[in-house]
Each structure stands twice: as C-alpha cells, then as structure tokens.
Structure 1
Amino acid sequence: MNLFGNILYVSENAVNQETSIMRAVSLAENNQGNLTVMDVAPVIAADIDLPYGRPISNEVQSAIVSERRKMLEALIEPYKKHLDIRLDVLVGTTFLEVIRAVLRNGHDLLIKPAENPGFIERLFGSDDIQLLRNCPCPVWLTREEEKSKYEHILAAVDFNPDMPDTIEQDLNQQILGLSGSLALSDFASLHAIHVWDAPAEAMLRTWANDSREASATYVEGVRSSHERAYNRLRQQLIERIGKDNSDYLSPEFHMRRGVAATVIPEIAKQLHADLVVMGTVARTGIAGLLIGNTAEAVLEQIQCSVLAIKPPGFVSPVQL
C-alpha cells in the first residue's frame, strides 16, 4: 500500500539523525514516492558588525546557506544511488518555513528527528511542538534510537461513545489504518489503546442514596458503552486492512481507565513500543491551538517515536 507519495524530511543538526534519514529513505522507496531533505538556516541580522567593523552582508548569509547545503549533501550521500533526493535550504524561523514548504509543495508526510529542548523552549513552544500544533500533514518525530524496522507499534484512539463525532471517527480510522499498514510493512506487532474515564463517579458517591451501588452501576455502564464502541473500531480495522492481514497481525486492543496523557506513556513503556501513532484533537478553524494537548504531553514522556495525525479538514493557521 502506498501511504505517502511526497515526503519532507527536516534535518535536526543537534542530534544524531542517521537512523532517521534511513527511515525517510526507506519510506520513500517502499511507497515509490518523492523525498525532499530540507534545512532552515537562521536569519542573520543585517546590522550586526563583524570584528573589523564591516557589516554582515548577503554574502555571509549565502555562505551559511551553502554550509547547510553541504551538511545535507553529506547526510544523503549513502542513499543517492537508490533514490533521487531533492535538497532545499531555506532562511527563517524553522517551523514557519517547514509548514510553508508543506503547503507550497503538497507534502503528505513530515519526518523530523525530535529535538531535545530546554525548559524555556518547552514552555513557549519548540519547533517540534509548533509543528505538532500547526502542520497540516502527519508529523513523524523520530528518536535517536530509531530502528530500521519497528517491532512494536501502538495506536492510540479516542472517542465519546455517547456523542459520536464524524471528524473523530474519521481520525480514528486514519490512525488504525496507518498503524496497521506500517505494522504489516515492518512485520511489527500492532497494539491499540483507548483510555476512558467515568467523571461523574465522585458526584454519585456524594449525592446518591445508595452511593456504592449507584457509582458501581454508573461506572460499569460507562465502561460497557466504551467497550461497544471500541469493538466497532476493531471490526472497522479488520474491514480496512482485510481479514487475512488482520489474522496475520493479530492486533491486541487495550482499554484502560484513567487520563490519556498518563496512561498512553505507561502502556508504551510496558509494550516497548517503537512508535506511537495518535491524533491531535485540533478542530478546523482554531488558530494557535492546543497548548498542552495529549499528543504534546505524550511526546514529553516517551522515548519512542511519535506519528501525530491531524483530523480531516484541519486548516493550518500558518499561511504562505
């Protein structure tokens, strides 16, 4: 199955990215797609003086761009015989230029080695966080320990069984379908996780005449409704990837009570997950969205790679 036809890889010079670029090249080859490898050089202020009093010129900025291009050429050198890789070096703010490149060139996947930002960067939004929030295509943030072939993939889905949401349902289908295809491609085990909770339990214990029975009945009712909806998703996955593929994968479906931002990292660690595939909860038309959403919270807590998918109809607040 060809999942991605136009892949953008963004270089992260501060980390070891050998295995990450291998993943991007492998995906492009397997999908018979295009691969662009890109870097963004910072803008050099024109009024900064050099030691001899000569102002920074366009030539100096061009030299920095040229040096970045040489670094990209060295990065892709081992793969040039296998794939025609396009190189691009832009100047500006990294996340803005990356998103504009996605919009301009119609990329359907962004791969980037994850940063290791300091506290201030995390607080105000590193490039990775900004890409998770605002990039319109799926964002695949890889770790330095990236494997050439994954062994365990975890798909995280979320839904409200009492208030079905078409956007949410479509997003879950994308998550499960993509996770299944990647698991088949890498011969990896596939796990799915759904986290639920019963928020009114404490209130029932306070106000009901028979508080224990009332709260137990309520919790079981909530659990059952989530389980039924989850089973429907399981059946839809089988239909999407085919019964033979489903029998081969034998995906395991986990349902845990708790807070998603806590439970997902816990089960990812238990399963030794190499990749967590999940959605962002962004809704169309909301700009500057989702500070502290689940995808961001999970990224902060796990050591494996994350593939974050936007819901259908998402429009990035960043414009060309």
Structure 2
Amino acid sequence: MGKLFIVEPHESTHTDVISKGLQLAKLLGKTPEIFAYCYEYFYGDRVIYEEAKQQLQEHKRQQLTERLKQLDASDVPLHVVWSKYLYEHVTEYAANEGFDLVVKGIHPSEHMLPTDWQLLRTTKVPVMLLTQNPLQHGSSVLMALDLDTENPQKQQLNQQVLHHARELATATGGELHLAYVLRVPRLIRDLEVLNVQQLIKDAYRRHQLTLEEMGLPKEQIHIICGEPDLCLYQLACRLKSDYLVMGARQRQGLMGWMLGNTAEQILQRIRSDVLVIPSAG
C-alpha cells in the first residue's frame, strides 16, 4: 500500500482538495496524510516572532482538525508546516518519505512562476492537480502519449503514463482513452501545406502494432493534428474526461523556468483533474 500526500488548499482555491484527496486515497488503496502550509515574515523581536509562529500553526491545526472531524477522518495524520516555499518542502518530503502521489488543488495565479509550475519542475513523485471547474458527469481517463519519440527517456515516460493511467481507470471505473497529438502549427494547417488527414492515417499505420498491444478499442484511440495544449483540452472536454494523465520532462536552468511545457500550458484552461508523471531523469 502506497502513501498519498494531500496539500491543504490555498485560500483562493475553490476545490475541496481534502475531501477529494481522501476519496482518491480510498479508491487507489493508499494511506493519506494531510500537509498544511503557513508562513509570515515578521520584523522585530525573535521571541515575539516564535510566539506568533506557534499561534498561527496552532490556529491552522485547529481548523483542519475540525474539518477532518466533519469528514469522519480524524485518524488521518495531519502536519502543519512552516515553509516559505511550499513546492520545496513537498518535493523533498514526498520523495524522502516514500510517498507515491501528491494531490493538490490548481493554484490560481497570474504570476510568471506560480506554485504549480515550480512543483511540476522539481517533483520526483507524480502530482495530481485538481481543477476548480470540473466537467459534469465525467466518466473517462484520457492519457497523452508521444508515440513517435525515439528518445529513451521519453519512451520510458510513455510507459509510466500508461501504467498510471491504467491504474487510475481501473480504480475509478473510467473508460481509458489514448491521445497522440501530431504537432502541426495552425498557420501550416490553415495554409493546407500538408495533408493533415494523410498524416493521421500514416500515424495510425506506423503505430498499429503498438496500439494493438495496448488492447484499446479503436474508438478509444485518438490521433489528432494541432497544438497539444489546445487539442488535449478540446478532446478532454468532448470525452468528459475526469482525468488527464500526461508526462512532463523537467527543465533546468533559466530557460527552463521561462519556457514551460505542454503540461503547464494545459493547466491554464483544463477542466479535468491532471495527473502529471515526472520523467525519471
């Protein structure tokens, strides 16, 4: 049995993260623990600072203890952490203490480097980010794979995404769908420089054996052309997907912090919960 790390939601988050996290823990057969974060900067006397710090932590603990009573989950371990940077503690603690899934509400932010982006760039544990605007009556799990990659690290990441998506679909009773987006910029599509339908047919033919090995019905396999973030959003809405499972290669350095990737772009509009699997490297 694995362990599930639930991040207590930010004040501006409208998703009931604790309730949903406990539900996921039960479905996936994992032991949940809840982590609440608080931090304030004080000027002045160190003694006063420590007293205020303890009072803030105790206030947070009392709030969440009462919430767990309401959910009949008083036995769930609760940790109140004093940390300026949430993502740093989550990344280190989850990896070192043997957690195999982090559940967190998507943090609404207009800043260039919101908490969720920082977490996705550093985590070594899969992260489930819960949407604030879920689709109604969802009943499927959509996984995004890069079928054409020849990069060994990406191929390994594909296998991890497939594994976690199957596990999630089995646990939730959702229908498993596969999406592969052939990246073709809109300008090229509009100019009809390429025969998009032929590209899609060629991709199906090229990956026929791989797709057959996955054992999915044809109607649950979707190869489409376009920009990945928009295509996955539209497909998830059409399928009414409860979950979107995808991999993320974590960039390092200044350019990594500035450019982002498909997983991060998806978070800005998605209406499904997103399970992000970090690359092993």
TM-score by length of 1: 0.74
Query: Which residue type is aligned with residue 126 of structure 1?
Result: P
- Cα distance, 1:108 vs. partner? 0.9
Residues 1:74 and 2:66 aligned together: yes
1:40-65 deviations in Å (ceiling 9; x for gaps) = 11143242x8xxxx984211110001
Q: Is the 8 A contact 2:135 2:272 kept in 1?
A: no
Q: What are the equivalent positions in structure 2 for 1:256-275 lying under 5 Å apart?
A: 256-275=224-243
Q: Unaligned regions of 5+ residues in structure 2, if any? A: none
* Cα 1:263–1:154 shift into 2, 3 Å: same
Which secondary structure state, in structure 1, belongs to the residue aligned with residue 241 of structure 2?
A: coil
Larger Rg belongs to: 1
Which secondary structure state, in structure 2, belongs to the residue aligned with residue 265 of structure 1?
A: helix
Between 148-157 and 250-259, the greater mean CA deviation after superposition: 148-157
Q: Is the 8 A contact 1:40 1:97 kept in 2?
A: no
Q: Separation in 2 of the partners of 1:196 and 1:147?
A: 25
Q: Separation in 2 of the partners of 1:148 and 1:224?
A: 32
Query: Could you say which residue in structure 1 is the equivalent of 2:264?
Result: 296
* Cα 1:60–1:302 shift into 2, 3 Å: same
Q: What are the equivalent positions in structure 2 for 1:93-112 lying under 5 Å apart?
A: 93-112=85-104
Q: Separation in 2 of the partners of 1:106 and 1:148?
A: 34
- Cα distance, 1:75 vs. partner? 2.9
Query: Could you say which residue in structure 2 is the equivalent of 1:170?
Result: 156
- Cα distance, 1:147 vs. partner? 8.6
Which secondary structure state, in structure 2, belongs to the residue aligned with residue 257 of structure 1?
A: strand
Query: Could you say which residue in structure 1 is the equivalent of 2:78?
Result: 87
Which secondary structure state, in structure 2, belongs to the residue aligned with residue 303 of structure 1?
A: coil
- Cα distance, 1:223 vs. partner? 4.2
Q: Separation in 1 of the partners of 2:157 and 2:213?
A: 13
Query: Could you say which residue in structure 2 is the equivalent of 1:317?
Result: none
- Cα distance, 1:86 vs. partner? 1.2
Which secondary structure state, in structure 2, belongs to the residue aligned with residue 22 of structure 1?
A: helix
1:105-152 deviations in Å (ceiling 9; x for gaps) = 1211100111122x2x2x2x1111111111111110112456999512
Q: Unaligned regions of 5+ residues in structure 1, if any? A: 206-211, 239-245, 315-320
| 1:45 pairs with one of 42, 47, 66 | 42
CA RMSD of aligned residues (A): 3.2
1:134-188 deviations in Å (ceiling 9; x for gaps) = 1111110112456999512211111435xx2222122112212221222222221
Q: Is the 8 A contact 1:173 1:237 kept in 2?
A: no
Query: What fraction of aligned residue pairs are identical, expressed as a percent?
Result: 23
Which secondary structure state, in structure 1, belongs to the residue aligned with residue 268 of structure 2?
A: helix
Q: Is the 8 A contact 1:159 1:168 kept in 2?
A: no
Residues 1:138 and 2:126 aligned together: yes
TM-score by length of 2: 0.83
Q: Is the 8 A contact 1:149 1:186 kept in 2?
A: no
Q: Is the 8 A contact 1:115 1:128 kept in 2?
A: yes
Q: Separation in 2 of the partners of 1:9 and 1:132?
A: 15
Paired residues, number: 274
- Cα distance, 1:258 vs. partner? 1.2
- Cα distance, 1:30 vs. partner? 3.7
Q: Separation in 2 of the partners of 1:44 and 1:183?
A: 44
Query: Could you say which residue in structure 2 is the equivalent of 1:63?
Result: 55
